[in-house]
Structure 1
Amino acid sequence: MSQVKAYSLFTDFDISLFKAGKHFKLYEKFGAHSMQFEGEGGVYFSVWAPSAKSVAVVGDFNYWDGSEHMLNVRWDSSGIWEGFIPLAKKGMRYKFKITSNNNNIITEKVDPYAHYFERSPNTASIIWDIKDYTWKDKNWMGYRKDKNDLDKPYSVYEVQLGSWKKNSEGEFLSYRELAVELVNYVKEMNFTHVELMPIMEYPYDPSWGYQLIGYFAPTSRFGSPQDFMYLIDAFHQNDIGVILDWVPAHFPSDQHGLGLFDGTHLYEHPDTKKGYHPDWKSLIFNYERNEVRSFLISNALFWLEYYHIDGLRVDAVASMIYLDYSREEGEWEPNIFGGNQNLEAVSFLKDFNTAVYNNFEGVQTIAEESTAFSGVTKPVDQGGLGFGMKWMMGWMHDTLAYFSKDPIHRKFHQNELTFSLAYAFTENFMLPLSHDEVVHGKKSLLSKQPGDEWQRFANLRTLYAFMFMHPGAKLLFMGSEFAQYEEWNFEKSLDWNLLEFLPHKGMLNFVKDLNLFYKETPALYEKAFSTEGFEWIAYDDNENSVLSFLRKGHDSENDILVVCNFTPTLKVNYKIGLNKKGYIKEIFNSDLLPYGGSGVKNAESVEVSHDTWNQRKFSASITLPPLGVVVFQHVDE
């Protein structure tokens, strides 16, 4: 006989919002909630399983016996099963035992809204309370908007927590250990933000976290939910914003997960042309189903509310918005207008972004979107998808292709560097050098560079400097800041021992200073997404493989001149056109000795002459170090 007491957290209004795809706080209703009812302590459980014949809660409180605690189905055809179980309490493991109307198949499923899970490879959900953490980031949350706006510096350190660093026994660092080691490191390196590759609970380590089971739970690999809050809190207390990778595109088909949840295609689209991802062998959410939309948007808002997250980087957006993504002819069907856009996914993304920006101030959403889809960062009310930023994948691919070439051939490929400026202001772009570029045989960023050892390091410094001077926000994957030799391997720590060697230590010093220069130079971020923030001096000096341009902020007195030499040839008396008379002084140089460079510098100040050059009234003769980027600022007479 069931020992479940009838109880509900759902109002009629909740149900109507859920069915309409407009309930964005489902985490307050679904799942396991510790409470008092009729003088007894226990847990209220609820789960959506409209095609279930019966749903039982099995766990530590009933010896995993599926006959003791049968939930009650609501009368309103919502498909919600619920009830209060007096014996359940925090820390106990549980699952939902679902008997389907479809051939009476019985499966044990995790709670889609669980806040905590057993350590992988175990799979049970754990009853947990996440409201008992005392945050200490009030200051950050108060001025976050001023740190996180699009006219502020955005230098992001991308991290996979399991492989950033391991302890002396080769085991994961805990969230609380990372709150010391990783936070101090990111702060010392002068990054403004950290981006964590997916930390939601996932069953399979080689997925790097991109195939999620527990959308509402930080993985227990590194500690408890409160431990993860402690890590976020530590970042915020050190003025570092936190971005989470979020994966609403697909999920794994593991038997205990969301797939065939109630014996039917509940969360995934029933048509494999829309519901199965051939590349990742995973299931695709059904964006046509309102309850699924409510689940996903509630999940996004959950991390922003309960974990004080500052931004969500949305993974694999292109796979969501195109019906023919990674599919051959005959493997997809056009939409009602005959096109290849997934109209429901597009609509979902608009609803997601609208909900995020309407409910939270000072946050950003960032799209990993690799196509020319128009209006990704355009406001929804103007016909766009509504993201705050978009990864500039074209810049990444073109720039890495250019830098992989021997400098002797670069004069024939200068357009690979300049092309990005033809569309740089069509979206709010973030320039990524991400994890995807240093795995699967693509080699590390250092190994992509041509030449001898000195030239490889100089090339890499030039690449980073060009990236930071180029309009847009910045993202650098862990290990790249000290020029890791090997590709990233998720199974082991980064090669921190390389810092014993001067070239790697020099690269670390360079990135630290580059970040600081970026943060302290308003011209590099105040108009990073506007044509007003950039002006070419010369993009056509192919013969010398030199690019020169101005970056501009709100105050023209802070404008800077950037000159890039992409060859190993020292260039003395290189003439550059200028808009003002007076002097220019060198304020940044990628070739300094502490960075492992050759130490070539300009004089303390360089006089500007009245000679016309580059179609400008004034000019100056400067020295360009080999494979180097030099930045100047104007000084009045």
Structure 2
Amino acid sequence: MAKKTVTPSTTTLPASFSLLTDFDVHLFKTGKHYKLYEKLGSHFVNNEGQEGTYFAVWAPNASAISIIGNFNQWNKGKHILHSRWDESGIWEGFFADVKHGEAYKYAIHSNTGEYLEKSDPFATFCEMPPKTASIVWTPKFEWKDEAWMNERKSQAGKPKAYSVYEVHYGSWRRKLEEGTPSLTYPEMAHVLVDYVKEMNFTHVEFLPLMEHPFYGSWGYQLTGYFAPTSRYGSPEDFMYLIDSFHRAGIGVILDWVPSHFPGDAHGLFKFDGTFLYEHADPRKGFHPDWKSYIFNYGRNEVRSFLISNAVYWLDKFHIDGLRVDAVASMLYLDYSRKAGEWIPNVYGGNENIEAITFLKEMNEVVYGTFPDAITIAEESTSWTGVSRPTYLGGLGFGQKWMMGWMHDTLQYFKQDSIHRKYHQNEITFSVMYAFTENFMLPLSHDEVVHGKGSLLGRMPGDEWRKFANLRLMFTYMFMHPGSKLLFMGGEFGQSAEWNHEKSLDWHLLDYDVHKGVQRLVRDLNRFYKTEPALYQYQFEQKGFSWIDYDDRENSVIAFQRQGDGKENLLIVVCNFTPETRRHYRIGVPFRGSWKEIFNSDAHQYAGSGVLNEGLLLTSPVKYHGRDYSISLTLPPLGISVLRLEKEISEFDLSDMGT
């Protein structure tokens, strides 16, 4: 960009008006202003009976700033901002002739000699890309989700099922007309909400929907942190979508990206001509993987910006949780860097101390303000205490993605069943560390892109075995400790790799095998939500115990899931081979009759229908360290789930027949 030294002439002076108090500025400069969106940015206000727009922007290294837009023919010499007297670096001004709905940018003359035209970091609405201006907008919406919000508050901290449907908004379902855009927020409210409810998911999670210039980034390269993307409608339209989910009893989680931002000229990069939001040294400020820029977490004003952004979505949009992207890249100074490409911390280590303290503070603020919300970390390393409270030395997240489980499970399932006996440890190892964090089991968008193929395509064997393996994997996932996340398309066995430019292949539901997978996921969600054994202690050792993890020859594992009371105990037996195993004996904790209550091989799931019908009676044969055992039939590439139907004491004569 060519350097210019021209300073705009003042033709219109702003009125004497400010939303900022001295205390606001103090909080901002100390990194403790957590609702900065109420002060900075553009605000359509009434100033002593005169309506107009107040602007405030942080640009400490600017020599002059003005507002440009259609209202002044983009003339940078008319609407001049004034620098505050308190050395905050904030410029502000009120203009009665700038109305609600006007597009604008900041025209910034830097003290480096550069001239920049920037969109507003605090804009709540933006022009539709590829246009880049911000829009003066104060969203007004009448929420109707009071019942949901009250229920959320009353259930805070109590055990609950989290079954999350991960969605890339632009490619879930497109309009039938060739070349038309994806559904608008209100249109989506009338199809996606009904679908997620029908499928019994507890939450929907959207890949980032904050404004981003490049659609192909899937939303992970943000320029408008406070604005829902205008591709699909207005902020009120997005609020309507969230409200619709809540009225249907479904929570909404947003992907949030505090780890990096792109270098687009209108965005945060070198905002006032200097490295303001990012580090100047590329060894700390440039991300080699994503060719983007890393926030300076040690700068108080940047911390106020980011934490305010987290609070904003929970506050103004009633979001139920934030899934924080790429946490591992924030924690380590040498993440994806070779020797000499990173700077050690003050102690000589590779931990990013500033990012760690930022994440802790962010979680403390979120949970302190919204104790009924949740934060979830995508963190791929063995960092200790990601989902433990900060007062115990943790990072303070509510949950953490269990990347090890995902990797081992997909690695195991790609093996032909005849070889699985040599890989038994891969399917059982996750339980060794399953309770060190509050883990979420993710089969996310990252597993169906970049040549990895679809989940169905990674299953071995012919068509029958592929679908049976997929049903088996999903059932194993729902029986395993931890909450669940499944990327769209997986729930009906999408056969092609995900393509963000296309709709999901909904026509596949014309085929019984795909319809069967969809029914299975729907029923697994219902089962998970209604069985305390599966969620009451999903993050604690007391909710799980092995029956047998070592039957390598048959590739079978059996375990218990436990809630409070004998009535909330389930036995899960998994057969990872296509062989039907009859008269398979397992030890059980109680004498009596057991009943199969779920079978992934049932006909309604397009399985072969190998079921255990009727009651399974215990025998006084000791097995697996238990005094009693039962004999059952294991379905091929299937899972059988059992519950105690009736316990029989040793004094009950009716037990004579057992």
Name the TM-score class by shorter chain.
Answer: over 0.9
Structure 1 partner of 2:261: 251
Contact 1:402 1:410 in 2 (8 A): yes
Separation in 2, partners of 1:442, 1:307: 35
Of 167-176 and 210-219, more deviation after overlay is shown by 167-176
Counterpart in the other structure of 1:581? 591
Determine helix, strand or coil for the equivalent of 1:562.
Answer: strand
Equivalent position of 2:188 in the other structure = 178
Question: Where in structure 2 are the equivalents of 1:237-636 lying within 5 Å?
Answer: 237-636=247-646
TM-score normalized by the length of structure 2: 0.96
Please give the alpha-carbon distance, in whole angstroms, between the structure 1 residues aligned to 2:356 and 2:513.
47
- Mapped to 1, the partners of 2:49 and 2:538 lie a distance apart of 59
Structure 2, unaligned runs of 5 or more: 1-10, 649-658
Deviation track 1:204-233 (CA, whole Å, cap 9, x = no partner) reads 011000000000000000000000000000
Give the 3-state SS of the residue equivalent to 1:297 in structure 2.
helix
| Residues in 2 aligned to 1:435 and 1:198: alpha-carbon distance in whole angstroms | 12
Q: Distance in 2 between matches of 1:614 and 1:225?
A: 58
CA contact 1:481–1:507 (8 Å) conserved in 2? yes
User: What's the CA shift for 1:38?
Assistant: 3.5
Matches of 2:246 and 2:274, distance apart in 1: 43
- Report if the CA contact (8 A) 1:6-1:72 is conserved: no
What corresponds to 1:108 in structure 2?
117
Q: Does 1:129 find its partner at 2:138?
A: yes
Aligned partners of 1:634 and 1:337: how far apart in 2?
Answer: 57
Instruction: Provide the secondary structure at the position in 2 that maps to 1:413.
Output: helix
Q: CA offset at residue 311 of structure 1?
A: 0.4
Q: 2:3 matched to which residue of 1?
A: none
Distance 2:257 2:102 in 1: 28
Query: Post-superposition shift, 1:148?
Result: 6.2
Are 1:48 and 2:65 matched, yes or no? Answer: no
Distance 2:528 2:157 in 1: 15
1:138 and 2:159 correspond: no
Contact 1:538–1:547 at 8 Å: present in 2 too?
yes
Q: Distance in 1 between matches of 2:577 and 2:378?
A: 32
Q: 1:167 matched to which residue of 2?
A: 175
TM-fit CA distance, 1:2: 2.6
Note if contact 2:156-2:371 (Cα within 8 Å) is conserved in structure 1: no
SS at match of 1:396: helix
Q: What's the offset of the Cα at 1:3?
A: 3.5
> What is the deviation of 1:401?
0.2
Is the Cα–Cα contact under 8 Å of residues 82 and 92 in structure 2 kept in the other structure? yes
Match for 1:473: what amino acid? Answer: S
Identity of aligned residues (%): 60
Deviates more, 1:166-175 or 1:300-309: 166-175
- Give how far 1:270 is off: 1.1
3-state DSSP of counterpart to 1:96:
strand
User: Which amino acid letter does the alignment assign opposite residue 142 of structure 2?
Assistant: T
Can you list the C-alpha shifts for 1:14-61, whole angstroms capped at 9, x where unaligned?
111101111000000000101122332100000000000001000121
1:555 CA displacement: 2.4
Shift of 1:171: 2.0
CA displacement, residues 96-149 of structure 1 (integer Å, 9 cap, x when unaligned): 0000001x100100000000011111111001111x200000000001145564
Instruction: For residue 165 of structure 2, give the secondary structure of its aligned residue in structure 1.
Output: strand
Instruction: Kindly provide the amino acid, as one letter, of the partner of residue 572 in structure 2.
Output: V
Which residue identity lines up with residue 241 of structure 1 in the other structure?
Answer: G
Query: How far apart are the structure 2 equivalents of 1:394 and 1:223?
Result: 38
Render the CA deviation track for 1:274-313: whole Å, top value 9, x for unaligned.
1000000000000010000000000000000000000000
C-alpha deviation, 1:151, in angstroms: 1.2
What is the one-letter code of the residue matched to 2:570? I
- Give the Cα–Cα distance (whole angstroms) in 1 for the partners of residues 468 and 333 of structure 2: 43
**Partner Cα distance (2:598, 2:61) in 1:** 64
Q: Which runs of 5+ in 1 are unaligned?
A: none
Deviation >3 Å, runs of 4+:
145-150
Cα RMSD, aligned residues only:
0.8
Deviates more, 1:1-10 or 1:120-129: 1-10
Rounded to whole Å, the distance in 1 between the matches of 2:155 and 2:124 is 29
SS across alignment from 2:80: coil
| Matched residue type, 2:27 | L
Counterpart amino acid of residue 107 in structure 2: K
Which amino acid is the alignment partner of residue 230 of structure 2? Answer: S
Q: Aligned partner of 1:466: which letter? A: Y
Secondary structure at the residue paired with 1:221? helix
User: What amino acid maps onto 1:163 in structure 2?
Assistant: S
Q: For 1:93 and 1:150, locate their aligned partners in 2 and report how far apart those are by CA, in whole Å.
A: 45
Query: TM-score of the superposition, structure 1-length normalised?
Result: 0.99
Q: What secondary structure sits across from 1:450 in the alignment?
A: coil
Instruction: Output the CA distance in 2 between the equivalents of 1:158 and 1:143.
Output: 23
Q: Matched residues in 2 for 1:387 and 1:573: separation?
A: 45
CA contact (8 A) 1:148 1:241 kept: no
Change (3 A) 1:563 1:384: same
Aligned partner of 1:31 in structure 2 is 41
- SS of the residue aligned with 2:72? coil
How many residue pairs are counted as aligned between the two chains? Answer: 635
Question: Is residue 560–residue 632 contact of structure 1 (8 Å, CA) maintained in 2?
Answer: yes
Looking at structure 2, the residues matched to 168 and 147 of structure 1 have their Cα atoms a distance apart, in angstroms, of: 41
Q: Counterparts of 1:182-197 in structure 2 under 5 Å?
A: 182-197=192-207
Paired residue type of 2:119: V
How far does residue 150 in structure 1 lie from its aligned partner after superposition?
5.8
Q: How big is each residue's C-alpha offset from its partner over 1:219-254, in whole Å with a ceiling of 9 and x where there is no partner?
A: 000000000000000000011000000000000000
Q: Which amino acid aligns with 1:219?
A: T
Q: Aligned partners of 1:23 and 1:38: how far apart in 2? A: 27
Aligned to 1:523, what secondary structure does the other structure show? helix
Paired residue type of 1:583: S
Secondary structure class of the residue paired with 2:44:
strand
CA contact (8 A) 2:208 2:220 kept: yes
Where 1:544 maps in the other structure, the secondary structure is coil
- 8 Å CA contact 1:148–1:364 kept in 2: the answer is no
Amino acid at match of 1:264: T
